[in-house]
Amino acid sequence: MSNSLKIDLSRDKLTATIKVTGMDPITRDDILGALKNSGIVYGVFEDVVDIATSGSIDDYLIIAKGDPPVGGKNGWVEILWKATNPEDQLDAEKTVDFRETSNLISVNEGVLLAQVHPPQEGKPGKMVTGEEISPPQPKVATIMAGKGVRLDNNGAKAYSANQGRPVAKVVGPNVVISVEPSFTVTGDVCLKTGNIRFKGDVAVTGSVSETMKLEASGNVTINGIVTGAHVYSGKDLIIQKNIISCEVAAGIGAMESGKIRYMVQDLHDDISKLLQAIEQLKSQSPELSKLPYTQLVNSLLENRFRNIKGNTKQFLLSKSFNLPFEVEEAAEAIKIITTMHFTPEDLKRVTEILLKALVVMDSHVVEKAKIRVGSASASTIKCSGDVLVLKGCVNTTIYAGGNVIIKGHFKGGEIYSEGSAELDELGSTLGAPPLVRIKPKGFVRIRSTHPGSVIQIGSTRLNVTQELARSTFRLNSNDEIDIIPS
């Protein structure tokens, strides 16, 4: 029998083969007995047993096959921020703005950046000898908190601890998540880089080209010139060289927060009143309950609550990138008003988020920012704090929440300062007369003032009629401007 029937078992015991030689008759019991003697008790193919009893088999046939283990799924870390692909913006029906091609991602403080998904166990296998095969143990993934990141108590979720650019780095089975608080543009901000919007500090080693925009919630430093561009910073703004035909602003959060708070307050109050009006109408006219909810709301929005849509539009257009995360969250929630697809619960949730934003804004202290530029021509400068121009201004308007210092000439243009103003030279023999306007408690100090220049302190205005050397202008107790030689 052994000379005419041979059974082989694979090394992993997942496969058994049979070969029959010679002309001796082999019965089904012979084959089953041989399998049993070889320890093969699982996965036997009955049809192959029948084939083997029919006669000689020149080659090996698989007569039994086990079940290999099914591997589980390793744990993994889900990254929750997503870079935008500039190609996604392409649309045959729309004009592509090639300045909006940057895929720079930045986040506010408190944003969920990544979370761990646990491993999934595999399924055991079985050898033809009946022994169970354990599946390979799936690996556990972990998040490690880098700079600017905090983990929850379970270590399964990573949140940003400050504003900045989120970065993920794979280190073996671990993923290190960090938030870089600053971003450097090597070279110029131009069509190649696209407009830059960043929650954190931005440094530009080159210049900012025409028609480009740079917005940052933190400090901004530009080593080159800025021409025909818009630059906005939440904190200090330094432009080492000249600005030409630009609008630059620093302390956006401080300048915008008051206006935005009024809008948030109005939206919260009006939507709360809208919800009350709907319930009142339903109680007075039960048949109104049969109308679609959005139809009823839209009717009220078009008649009694027209301000809601207008305030919603203004709120969404406002610059809130340097305000608390809750304000950004409120802006996202209020978008539902524009969709006209919402339920009563949706509107109640909006009022709750708006209220949370109000509470946070009331407790949020925004420090005044500063601006320093080399020189300015035909530009607008807005700042919540002090403004310093190192080489002079031509036809430029300055709005400052603090003091203004011009180390050089100021020809044409206007200065509006909440503090005091100090200039080397005001006005010229040519061009439009410049205006310097400050609050009553401030002063204006000028080394050389040309005729035609206008000084306004509080509501009192002085037109300079003659050349003046070093002078300080102050408001006296009679609301008159004193000119004090200095």
pLDDT, position 86: 40
| CATH code of domain 253-363 | 1.20.120
Q: What percent of the chain stands above pLDDT 70?
A: 91
Are the C-beta atoms of 132 and 125 separated by less than 8 Å? Answer: yes
Are the C-beta atoms of 51 and 116 separated by less than 8 Å? Answer: no
What are the tokens at 265?
């307050």
SS (H, E, C) 199-218: CCEEEECCCECCCCEEEECC
DSSP state for residue 419 in the 8-state scheme:
S
What are the tokens at 328?
């950004």
- The closest of 218, 224, 251, 250 to 239, measured between CA atoms, is 224
pLDDT, position 175: 92
Helix (H) or strand (E) holding 332: helix 325-334
Helix (H) or strand (E) holding 65: strand 61-65
For residue 33, which amino acid is it?
G
pLDDT, position 56: 64
Q: How far separated are the first and last CA of the chain, in Å rounded?
A: 126
Architecture of domain 76-180: Beta Barrel (2.40)
Gap between the Cα atoms of 225 and 244, Å rounded: 8
Gap between the Cα atoms of 142 and 173, Å rounded: 7
Task: Give residues with Cβ within 8 angstroms of 471, minimum separation 6.
Answer: 445, 446, 449, 483, 484, 485, 486
Q: Report in angstroms the alpha-carbon separations of 409 from 309, 381, 386, 389.
A: 46, 16, 18, 10
pLDDT, position 102: 56
Q: Report in angstroms the alpha-carbon separations of 381 from 40, 208, 239, 405.
A: 87, 16, 12, 13
Gap between the Cα atoms of 133 and 43, Å rounded: 14
What are the tokens at 396?
């430029």
Q: Within 10 Å of residue 25's Cβ, how many Cβ atoms?
A: 9
Question: Coil, helix or strand for 469?
Answer: coil
Q: Report in angstroms the alpha-carbon separations of 343 from 55, 264, 283, 470.
A: 77, 21, 18, 68
Helix (H) or strand (E) holding 63: strand 61-65
pLDDT, one tens digit for every residue, the chain (486 residues): 445 788 899 999 999 998 887 666 788 888 899 999 999 999 999 998 888 887 667 788 999 999 999 999 999 999 998 754 444 433 433 444 445 555 688 888 889 999 999 999 999 999 999 999 999 999 899 999 999 999 999 999 999 999 899 999 987 778 999 999 999 999 999 989 999 999 889 999 999 999 999 999 889 999 999 999 999 998 999 999 999 999 999 987 666 676 788 888 889 998 899 888 888 887 877 777 777 777 878 888 888 888 888 888 888 887 656 667 788 888 888 888 877 777 888 889 999 999 998 888 777 666 789 999 999 999 999 998 999 999 999 999 999 989 999 999 999 999 999 999 999 999 988 888 999 999 999 999 999 999 999 999 998 999 999 999 999 999 999 999 999 998
Gap between the Cα atoms of 312 and 449, Å rounded: 47
Q: CA-CA-CA-CA torsion for 162, 164, 169, 175, nearest 10 degrees?
A: 30
Q: CA-CA-CA-CA torsion for 404, 410, 416, 418, nearest 10 degrees?
A: 20
Domain range annotation of the chain: 5-65, 76-180, 184-252+368-485, 253-363
For residue 190, which amino acid is it?
C
Residue 37: what are its φ and ψ, rounded to 5°? Answer: -65, -30
Question: Coil, helix or strand for 317?
Answer: helix
